[in-house]
Structures are given as structure tokens and as C-alpha cells.
Amino acid sequence: MRVELIDPTSGISGTPSFGMTVLLNEHTAIDAGTLGFLWPISRQRQVSRVFLSHSHMDHVAALPSFLDNVYGTGLECPTVLAGPETLKSLQSDLFNDRLWPDFVRLSEQGPSFLHLQQLSPLETVEANELRVTPWPLSHVVPVLGFLVEDSCSAVAFLTDTGPCDSVWERLNACESLKAVFLECSFPRRHEPLATASGHLSVTSFAGEIAKLRRSVPVIAYHLKPAFHEEIVDEVQRLQQPNVEVIQPGRVYTF
Ligand SMILES: [Zn+2]
Ligand SMILES: [Zn+2]
């Protein structure tokens, strides 16, 4: 499985940007915070499914530009898959003709911009050769983490979330688990803010990885750019040999 964090500004700033998109095998995306900035546009046109974890802006901000960029190519339009609350928010808060044209209504009147597909927790969806299972996490709005499997590997993507026990029980039972991508939004000094906003600080991140009983890499991602260096330093001080911080633009293969 090919995994890449799409981050068009990291090569300029050296620091990951605000938005989140993880691209899997070039055809499936998790979140669309940066998907519309993936370059060249021909790479965007290879993406046929976009799984959204939740409705927050850092996860959906570049969805409108992505749908614009891939529209009218003659190919089947992309499918956007999300939980019911996220789909409702997309339609009422984003595609409402005020923030952005109502792509859902326009898709009923002409060539489609997108298909919407509702996800249910623990119900697996096929995405070409991948199987994607959404799991509920703990955040200030309903959010889904994803376990993505192919014929030999399983990789978990867990953001945005605060501490959550049930997901670790499932991961510990997953024989083919090869890696866990886990959010680490804040440095230790902002643990109260992390708790209040449904995120992990390095302190609670350490508490979560202690629940993992499988010897697989844990890759910290979703670091707030303003605290990037501080979080990297604190994660390194955990001195956990299987824990690293994500490198935007690096292609991970599992
Ligand atoms: Zn969020
Ligand atoms: Zn987020």
C-alpha cells in the first residue's frame, strides 16, 4: 500500500501545512484539506474516492477546488464518502451557494460534480483493491478513523481524536496491522486545550500508544504548524523506537 501525505507547502516552509489529505495508491484520498492543491492536476484526476473523517475545515477546505479541477473530463465523477453528520454539514455549510456553489444540486441538473455515499461505522467499503473500514473516534463533532487493508497489509489513520479505548482493542486484534498514523496536535503545555478540543497532546499521545500491543510503527501526524518543532522535539524525547513524525511528501510503503 502506497501512502503519501499531500502537503504542497512543506517544500517551501519545511513545516507541514494546516490542511490534511492522505493519498492511498494514487486513487483514494482520506480527507481533502489539501487535495485540490495536488500537482499536477492529472494526479487529482486519478482520485476516484475521497473518504472524509469529519467536517472541520482542515479536512474539507480543498474539496471544492478538487471537484472543480476534475470536473468535465469525461471520466466518472469522484465519490465523496463520509458519515451522515459530515454529509449533512457539507450540504448545509459548504455547498450552499454562499460559501461555494451547491455542487449537489448542480449535479442533479447536469454532469455530476460528485456522488455522495454515506458511511456507517464498522461497515467496510471497497475502493479498488483496498478495503476501508470506518471507526468512530472521539472529537468535538462525529468523526471516523479508517482502517485500510489490502491483500497483505492493514494501516490505521486516526485523526482527529482525543483518547479513545475501543479503537486500540480493534487494532490489537488486527493480525495484518503494519502501521498506525495517529494525530498529535499539540505540545505537552497545551494538554488542557487538547482535551477541550478533542485532540491529543504529546502527553495524551504517549498514553494512547501505550495501549498498542503490536510492534508496528506509529507515525505522528496532524501536528499544528505553529507548534511543529516543539512537538517533534517532545515526540523524540518519548524515546519510543517505533514512533516517528510524518514527513510530508515522503511515500510510505506497507
Ligand atoms: Zn477536527
Ligand atoms: Zn483536524
Q: How far is the CA of 189 from the centre of ligand 2 (A)?
A: 19
Contact 217, 242 (CB under 8 A): yes
Q: How far is the CA of 198 from the centre of ligand 1 (A)?
A: 8
| Ligand nearest to the Cα of 32, by number | 2
What are 14-47's pLDDT values in tens digits?
A: 667 788 999 999 999 999 999 999 989 999 999 9
Q: How far is the CA of 43 from the centre of ligand 1 (A)?
A: 26
| Ligand nearest to the Cα of 221, by number | 2
| Ligand nearest to the Cα of 223, by number | 2
Query: How many independent structural domains does the chain possess?
Result: 1
What per-residue string of b and e applies to 48-86 under the rule 16 or more CB within 10 Å gives b?
bbbbbbbbbebbbbbbbbbbebbbeeeeebbbbbbbeeb
Q: Which domain holds residue 177?
A: 2-253
Report the predicted TM-score, pTM, of the whole model to 2 decimal places.
0.96
| Ligand nearest to the Cα of 19, by number | 2
Side by side, the strands of the sheet bearing 2-5 are: 115-118, 79-82, 49-51, 28-30, 22-24, 2-5, 251-253
Task: Specify the 3-state DSSP secondary structure of 65.
Answer: helix
CATH of residue 215's domain is: 3.60.15.10
Cα-Cα-Cα-Cα dihedral sign, residues 218, 169, 142, 116: positive
Q: Which of 120, 125, 116 minimizes the C-alpha distance to 148? A: 125
| Ligand nearest to the Cα of 54, by number | 1
pLDDT at 17: 75
pLDDT at 240: 95
pLDDT at 197: 97
pLDDT at 80: 98
pLDDT at 15: 67
Residues in the chain with pLDDT values less than 70: 10-15
Q: How far is the CA of 168 from the centre of ligand 1 (A)?
A: 20
Helices (H) and strands (E) in the chain, counts: 10, 14
State the CB neighbour count (10 A cutoff) for residue 202. Answer: 27
pLDDT at 75: 83
pLDDT at 177: 98
Report every protein residue that has its C-beta within 5 angstroms of ion ligand 1.
Answer: 56, 160
Q: How far is the CA of 160 from the centre of ligand 2 (A)?
A: 5
Q: How far is the CA of 26 from the centre of ligand 1 (A)?
A: 24
Q: How far is the CA of 58 from the centre of ligand 2 (A)?
A: 5
| Ligand nearest to the Cα of 184, by number | 2
